[in-house]
Amino acid sequence: MSTEQQDVQVSTEGSILVITLNRPQARNAITLPVAQAIAAAVDELDGNDALAVGIITGADGVFCAGMDLKGFVDGELPQLPGRGFAGIVQAPPAKPLVAAVEGYALAGGFEIALACDLITAGRGARFGIPEVKRGLVAAGGALLRLPERIPPNVATQLALTGEFLDAPRAHELGLVNALVEDGKALDAALDLAAAIAVNGPLAVRASKRIIAEAPGWPREERWTRQEQITDPVFVSHDAIEGASAFAEKRPPNWRGE
């Protein structure tokens, strides 16, 4: 196994794919090889019918400190065409993705978490976009996504001051879905992922897509655009199977079709 592969470890827990950033000596900062490995893992999640949900986390009690600044000074940008920073912020997977955050999720690390659908966090976790302190801009999605996830005035304060947001406050604001004791964020993420994975895969993906895309739809087109996504689900094998399983009081056998 190469060093680049060791820097991102990918494993499975049943139908759940777990992506672990594994550069603890650099607080799991993102390099170009790491971005490429994350992109490959996301492709595996979406392309493998046996996988239902993904989790991204960091090794040794730290989520991610963002871009590797040593690499940046040397001219390396850890972003991919069409995918953006870390190979994910511009192109999250179609399937659900949960961020399990311990320690720091800063700058691009926070933006990776914001590219996920759900976030679990240990109580000691801290979030922040301190780019302005370094003469940079949080261009990996935080300025776009954060005002949609927490009150815009709070997002503005974080962006302009570079201050940190602790996990309990992030949970109060609705950014963090599950606040747990330190060291338990991955367990909480696995629980969330398992609760998602038992549901119909077509329905889950359609629901995620609508939630993600609907804010940009013209108001007069919202119902039409939603129907374009939901109509195929209602006539799918899985829809019939879900109704039949409920009536027959048995677990459904999803086929994703």
Q: Which of 102, 131, 220, 257 is catalytic?
A: 131
Q: Which residues of the chain are under the pLDDT cut of 70?
A: 1-5
**Entry pTM:** 0.94
pLDDT of residue 154: 98
What is residue 5's predicted lDDT score, i.e. its pLDDT?
Answer: 56
201-248 folds as: Lyase 2-enoyl-coa Hydratase; Chain  A, domain 2 (1.10.12)
Q: Can 131 be counted among the known catalytic residues?
A: yes
Q: Check the CA dihedral 159-161-164-169 and report its sign.
A: negative
pLDDT of residue 4: 46
**Given 13, 76, 102, 111, the catalytic residue:** 111
Supply the pLDDT for residue 3.
Answer: 41
- Tell me the CA end-to-end span of the chain in Å, nearest whole number: 36
Domain 3-197 - what CATH class? alpha beta
Domain residue ranges of the chain, discontinuous segments joined by +: 3-197, 201-248
Same fold: 3-197 with 201-248: no
Give pLDDT, residue 63: 98
User: Residue 82, Cα to own-chain centre: how many angstroms?
Assistant: 17
